[in-house]
Structure 1
């Protein structure tokens, strides 16, 4: 008698638990956001009532202007052909203003037929004007870190000028500006002066540990057909504020110090002439002398190998050991020069340990770190007082197919 009601209840429970499509949304009804740019609003006035994308903010003027790049899926197939009826831009940029990113996100419900969907977000661009304000860098990322749809692999940039300009570029070889930007950011393996891409998840770890870090710095060209990676923005750990920017050569030096130099060129000077070495990083090690915790001594050993890529020194016979030794020594001097320049800037100008020396101490000398960690980048700032010695070793394995070339 009881078996039939129990079976019915069990069956109904299974139906509820196995109904996996209750929240299904068709793909052509989603508003795929692939890029977001965050700026300071252009107008210093309160948003006007009825103005599209402007929030009526009772606390005063809007704090952020956020631009979203949506994919127009119906135009992706024919985006390149102007004679086709379906041709046109395969993306849509919408900008809204407000004092909180979560609220700005909700404003879009009144402006677009497809609500923002972030699972395919590729790029988050933040203007320098935002990043240079105390704690603002962390504040604007809080929304993206909390959003359950968000991918932690989204790449984060700091931009010179307005961040929205990146989303307005018109690349000749891509239908979507964000996909072009995303590809450019991944070229650090081809150019040592490009910082490896900085992802949202990695930045979250730095922010939680209150550790200084660097972010790729990007700008758009004046003709709006391309973008350019230009050095790195240094974010100070104690207040998540941009302390300043490193130039391309300084970024190369930082990549050498952190072991993120994959392959690149080092321009050495031999007898007042240029010799270009194409190198790859073989090994990088850090040793710390912590006998005096208030003045720790670091020794960074850098081992690189490679080839002679180009030579303007015509008197060198690169098949002779003496000539190869001269090139190797010149390359080592150049590595010392560019790494010392970035060490000096980080220690004295920015007072930010973007090299990760504090993390090295925490991992390998934890007892010492417990004593000085709170005063490493703030308080007594022991980072600015430590000694950093760079010891490079360059080995030239190949000299090319010619011994000498004529002028």
Structure 2
């Protein structure tokens, strides 16, 4: 009898523990504050945080909160604070991301919820002086169990807060506009592929130089042309322009689309890239590394000229050579910028040596980008092979 009574009590306790713990942290959906985007800026002298201990620099965090009723009404283009708007922005100042979120929670009626976070935009001013560590900023987002590892991370040229107020005619809120534009890297080689926070975290752990997407604003919207460059200590170094970014995409094998222009008889012809690959080979001669990067591209004629007969094989071969030469020129400009101006191996040649020539890499690893800076002296040869697979839907646009 006692045995059955003990078993019954144990079963009752088990059922109670399940019932009592099932929804202990439940928050009703109409009480959640959905955060779509976060912008991080360096605080100026006028801003003051609630804590004044230590010398840690202060940060301004701007949070874009969604208004579900505005999203349902399809109020694209309405600014924050206007009737029917789909979002509002809230800014606070503190010394850490956790403190920023805590202080923001005290200023809004809804509990901040980050599971739908789409983009983190960080000002280059916030990380360029070395006092604020890029990895420290990302640490909060990486540790929080509400965050996903596919959140986009972008570096703003200047103030990041302004980007959460850009206007869009076909999206309900600015971060939605930015998140959609990020995917357009498949249509242009002048912007880097999307920089997911999981990818950025991997680069930080590897202690390699890397680039992530750059973002800027102008009168009519945003621009994602260019890239932000970070060194092996994940410190912001500078920006690459569109041309250098295009060359970098070819050198790293990240081209998934875009257009290459070449000049023929004073006119411009266009090559629409459908796919591109790269292969790296390395050898060591007299203590100096020599790399050969072979780039292969396939695509379609995007624009021709009247005097060129594209049905002739000789015309096709001539265009292929011109486009290949242009790809080499773009790549060499990038190599010169990385070797001479920034002295950072964003191409990933050091990682190639680490993966394929481990013994020799161990001998030079400390002097690759630092110390003797052997990367700046490496001989990098670029070769390109272009194939025109299709001519488009027409053979000529007008009679000769």
Q: Give TM-score scaled by structure 1 length.
A: 0.90
RMSD: 2.1
Find out whether 1:112 has 2:108 as its counterpart. Answer: yes
**Does structure 1 conserve the Cα–Cα contact (< 8 Å) formed by 2:300 and 2:389?**
yes
Find out whether 1:330 has 2:322 as its counterpart. Answer: yes
Per the TM alignment, residue 392 of structure 1 is displaced from its structure 2 partner at its CA by 0.3
1:305 to 298, 302, 319: 298
Match runs of 1:207-222 below 5 Å: 207-222=204-219
Find out whether 1:364 has 2:356 as its counterpart. Answer: yes
Aligned partners of 1:388, 1:251: CA distance in 2, in Å? 17
**Does structure 2 conserve the Cα–Cα contact (< 8 Å) formed by 1:68 and 1:93?**
yes
Per the TM alignment, residue 129 of structure 1 is displaced from its structure 2 partner at its CA by 0.9
SS of aligned partner of 2:17: helix
Per-residue deviation, residues 70-113 of structure 1 (Å, max 9, x unmatched): 1122332125299xxx9521112110011122111111232111
**Does structure 1 conserve the Cα–Cα contact (< 8 Å) formed by 2:47 and 2:93?**
no
Match runs of 1:7-406 below 5 Å: 7-17=8-18, 19-42=21-44, 44-45=45-46, 47=48, 54-59=49-54, 63-80=58-75, 87-134=83-130, 136-222=133-219, 225-238=220-233, 240-290=234-284, 294-312=287-305, 314-400=306-392, 401-403=394-396, 405=398
Counterpart position of 1:50: none
How many residues were matched structurally? 392
4+ residue runs of structure 1 moved beyond 3 angstroms?
Answer: 58-62, 403-407
Per the TM alignment, residue 193 of structure 1 is displaced from its structure 2 partner at its CA by 1.3
Per the TM alignment, residue 404 of structure 1 is displaced from its structure 2 partner at its CA by 6.6
SS of aligned partner of 1:145: helix
**Does structure 2 conserve the Cα–Cα contact (< 8 Å) formed by 1:362 and 1:369?**
yes
SS of aligned partner of 1:361: helix
**Does structure 2 conserve the Cα–Cα contact (< 8 Å) formed by 1:79 and 1:87?**
no
**Does structure 2 conserve the Cα–Cα contact (< 8 Å) formed by 1:214 and 1:232?**
yes
Cα distance change on mapping 1:373 and 1:61 into 2, 3 Å: closer
SS of aligned partner of 1:185: helix
Aligned partners of 1:405, 1:266: CA distance in 2, in Å? 23
Aligned partners of 2:223, 2:202: CA distance in 1, in Å? 27
Per the TM alignment, residue 45 of structure 1 is displaced from its structure 2 partner at its CA by 3.5
SS of aligned partner of 2:329: helix
Per the TM alignment, residue 158 of structure 1 is displaced from its structure 2 partner at its CA by 0.7
Runs of 5+ unmatched residues, structure 1: 48-53
Which range moves more in the overlay, 338-347 or 70-79?
Answer: 70-79
Aligned partners of 2:47, 2:116: CA distance in 1, in Å? 33
**Does structure 2 conserve the Cα–Cα contact (< 8 Å) formed by 1:316 and 1:404?**
no
Aligned partners of 1:139, 1:348: CA distance in 2, in Å? 29
Per the TM alignment, residue 15 of structure 1 is displaced from its structure 2 partner at its CA by 3.2
SS of aligned partner of 1:216: strand
**Does structure 2 conserve the Cα–Cα contact (< 8 Å) formed by 1:188 and 1:194?**
yes
Runs of 5+ unmatched residues, structure 2: none
**Does structure 1 conserve the Cα–Cα contact (< 8 Å) formed by 2:291 and 2:380?**
yes
Per-residue deviation, residues 289-313 of structure 1 (Å, max 9, x unmatched): 1455x4211111111112221124x
